[in-house]
Amino acid sequence: MEHEPAASIFLSLQESALGHAMRASPALYPAVEILHIFGFVILVGSILALDLRLLGLGRTIAIQPMAQLLLPLARFGFVLAISMGFLLFSADASHVVKNPAFQAKFVLIAAALVNIVIAHAIPWRDASRWGDKASSGAKATALTSILLWLGVVCAGRLIAYF
């Protein structure tokens, strides 16, 4: 009984004009899905490149300029992926919310965001002193980031199979 209000919210979203539009148009859902994919490719690609650099690959590339280039791209990719993901979710929200792969994806995104907050609050504060080698704290958050964001992608792909 305690799950009814949440289910009602998701059913309302699904039955909204947005949910209907996502289901009714033969072109809208696929276009939004393509934009969602572009978003997470930009997000995960830029994060993966920066995290691999923090872990020691590509030492000829300075960390700070690389971060200045890639972090805004990651933010753009995140906003695109999340906004398009919400549109996709609206098409079948009451069912997707119960999907274990979707639930795992949601938890992994939350964990990845917490990891970003930790990375920027602790190891990145001293980034100007790293030189060409990241601190051990930055390496730990980079490895965690790689695992979490790849987990998000895998969980997202598995939504179709549950």
pLDDT per residue as tens digits for the range 59-103: 899 999 999 999 999 999 999 999 999 999 999 999 999 999 999
Contact present, 143 and 135 (Cβ < 8 Å): no
The predicted-structure confidence for 115-139, as pLDDT tens digits, reads as follows 999 999 988 888 878 878 899 999 9
Q: Which residues have C-beta within 8 Å of that of residue 113, sequence separation ≥ 6?
A: none
Which pLDDT score is estimated for 124?
84
| Residue environment code for 132-146, b if the CB has 16+ CB neighbours within 10 A, otherwise e | eebbeebbbbbebbb
Give the pTM. 0.89
Which pLDDT score is estimated for 7?
77
Cα atoms in the 13 Å half-sphere on the side-chain side of 74:
19
